[in-house]
Amino acid sequence: MDADETHVRIDRDGDIIAARQKARELAAHVGFSGSDLTIIATAISEVARNIVVYASHGEIVLSAVQRGSQRGVLVVARDDGPGIPDIEQAMRDGFSTGKSLGLGLPGAKRLMDEFEIASEIGKGTTITMRKWTR
């Protein structure tokens, strides 16, 4: 395990706030400022909410990353929940099986620079997102 990783357990809605705060701290340290900090915190909020609503338990792993001279944050949201049967559908605006607006995952994708989702039925879901400094 990388020493620079920050792990935040997500078991209940209060943990979403903790994940947001940790992400803000890391992103500020990496060099993000202003609205980007809020944009990253909001994206974290959406994927963490997704864990609480659909999987009950999971974690968010935050780390600083580098690509050439560009610095960024890597966010991995992992759960061992039921998995997403139709990812294409889940990524469509307005689609929701839970108590949300159905904007969570597609919204998080719009907020970040990179967004990948992998899910296996009965095993869980992993969302990987990155945002780079401008």
Partner 1 sequence: MPVPILKQGEILIASMQSNLNDQDLMQLKDEIAAKIGRFKSRGVVLDVSILDVLDSFATRTLRSIAETARLRGAETVIVGIQPDVAIAMVQLGLTLDGILTALDFEEGLDLLLASIEGSRQGGR
CA distance 19 to 22: 5
Closer by beta carbon to partner 1, 90 or else 108 = 108
* CA angle at 102 for the pair 122 and 120, rounded to the nearest 5°: 15
Which residues contact residue 6 at a Cβ distance below 8 angstroms, ignoring those fewer than 6 apart? 22, 26, 61, 62, 63
Site residues, partner 1 (CB under 8 A): 13-14, 17, 20, 24, 34-35, 37-39, 41-42, 45-46, 49, 93, 99-101, 103-104, 106-108, 110-111
Query: Residue 38 CB, nearest distance to partner 1 (Å)?
Result: 4
Contact between 121 and 83 (Cβ < 8 Å): yes
Task: Give the residue among 54, 110, 48, 117 at the shortest CA–CA distance from 80.
Answer: 54
